[in-house]
Structure 1
Amino acid sequence: MTRLLLVLPAVALIAGCSLTPANERGQTEPLQGTDWQLYQVLDQPVTVETTRPLSIQFATQGNQVSGYSGCNRFSGTYSLYGGRMSFEPLISTKMACRDMNTEQRYMDALSSVRSWEAKGTELWLMNADQQPLLRFKAAPEM
């Protein structure tokens, strides 16, 4: 019995270390509840000048997702199964802006997402071949 009590904390410690890559705060940002800011779409840096960063947020309750795509806000639902992810058709506001190219690429890429990976302050949304479509960084905490 004593041996079991000594082994369980060691196993928990090892498992926790292997599942939690460190960032500058010493932890991985959670998928849900983090404001993820888009910095790359299909290997192209995001260079659109907007009043706020392009972003995505996964709600802490339920499977709700929302974000800002450069001109419009979007929302909808997503599904997770292990490392797999998919989005149901998303709805968005319909404002027109001068540069809609990045927004269109962002929304098109979201519809092709099939997996995800978070490490430290980074979130990658990938296609079925594990190729990154969208890359995000966790927004700094205020």
Structure 2
Amino acid sequence: MKKLILPFVAALAVAACSSTMGGKSAMLSLDKLKGTSWVASEVDPGRSDGRKPTVVFGAKDAPEVTGFGGCNNFFGGARMDGDKLKIGPLAQSMMMCEDGAMKAERTMHQKLDATRGARMDGDKLLLVDEAGAVLLRLSPAK
């Protein structure tokens, strides 16, 4: 009987250490995001120059987010409200672009505004909504 208990306890300990909230990785705080730059490679503004939307979290002492939405540059606040990450309100330059770029930019801004958390999936930063559903999947900027 003792021979069965030890492997069971060891397996239970390994499983407990490797599991996180509901099978999802833990949410990141804004402090962990400060000074990082990301590319929204899944959002295609259809630009002839191939430029992709970006999100940059400010330096440690600046609670802000900046980036490129697909047509215009944007900037705004980023703060923690309890355990929730909130981005915005966002302001942007007012250039006109092709329809695809304008649509991609609206989508980016809506998703950033709806963001309530962030977590890592490998090297990807996932911005998630209130329910934990992925809004944006961001790759590290090079």
TM-score range, shorter chain: 0.5 to 0.7
Question: After TM superposition, which residue ranges in structure 1, 4 or more long, deviate above 3 angstroms?
Answer: none
Alignment of 1:1-142 (within 5 A): 31-40=33-42, 45-46=43-44, 48-49=46-47, 51=49, 52-60=51-59, 61-80=61-80, 84-98=84-98, 99=100, 100-140=102-142
Offset of residue 81 of structure 1:
5.2
Between the aligned partners of 1:123 and 1:58, the Cα distance in structure 2 is 12
Larger Rg belongs to:
2
Provide Cα deviations, 1:86-128, integer angstroms capped at 9, x if missing partner. Answer: 0231100111111211111111111111111124421111110
Distance in 2 of aligned mates of 1:50 and 1:123: 26
Shift of 1:75: 0.1
How much is the aligned-residue C-alpha RMSD, in angstroms? 2.4
Larger relative CO (CA 8 A, sep 6+): 1 or 2? 1
The CA deviation at 1:83 is 5.2
Of Structure 1 and Structure 2, the greater helix share is in 2
Unaligned runs of 5+ in 2: 1-19, 26-31
Query: 2:45·2:105 contact (CA, 8 Å) conserved in 1?
Result: no
Q: Show structure 1 runs of 5+ residues with no match.
A: 1-17, 22-29
